[in-house]
Amino acid sequence: MNFTRIDLDTWSRKPYFEHYLDRVRCTYSMTANLDVTRLLAEVRLKRIKLYPALLHMITAVVNRHLEFRTCFDAEGRLGYWDRMSPGYTIFHDDDKTFSSIWTSYCDDFHAFYNRYLDDSNKYGNVKGLAAKPNEPPNTFPISSIPWVSFTGFNLNIYNEGTYLLPIFTMGKYFPQDGKIMIPLSAQLHHAVCDGYHAGVLFRDLQERAEACTDWL
């Protein structure tokens, strides 16, 4: 993983970044329903799990766009990672708690899927907030609320407001007009992502879901 620093003085986004970080510091969330009819049919046909397929799909799109990889590093320097990996939640049914695991991303889904299965087997029953140790800095969070087909989701984060990476939350899939839809919320920081970028994000996610036979 490589971190490339951004020269703020020559960055075309400088006025927007400074406005939404220093003067009107804000994040925003957008929730959209993705059509996963084809994706769900494909994972069932191949007898693979839906959750890692969605993790891979989201991460692949995040890695396409610099806006979703831009953040501050451990020294507080602004820049972007060349590659991101997902940090995601797993649910413990016995005590209704959750833990976080991360899996190193790779473009090949089957290699990623095997890594996901290995991590699930090793850390799936480990309790505590962080089940898998040594999470690298180039990860971003994905969580699931598979009990609710929500129409909106917003995280109220009370800290310095300088976490710039996207945060994703997926809900329960449901039938609609002969299709299977899944709600997905993306929490974005306005300093690095505008409404246009959110639109590109959901457009690319839908296109990748429809082209699932090319990568599953």
Which residues belong to the active site?
190
Place of tokens 């710039």: 164
The bridge status of strand 179-189 relative to strand 174-176 is: antiparallel
DSSP string, 25-72: --EEEEEEEEE-HHHHHHHHHHT--HHHHHHHHHHHHHTT-GGGGEEE
CA distance 105 to 114: 11
Angle between helices 50-62 and 37-46 (to 10 degrees): 130
Paired tokens of 21: 């970080």
Biggest CA pair distance of the chain: 53
Angstrom CA distances, 169 to 47, 51, 113, 134, 160, stand at: 24, 12, 20, 23, 21
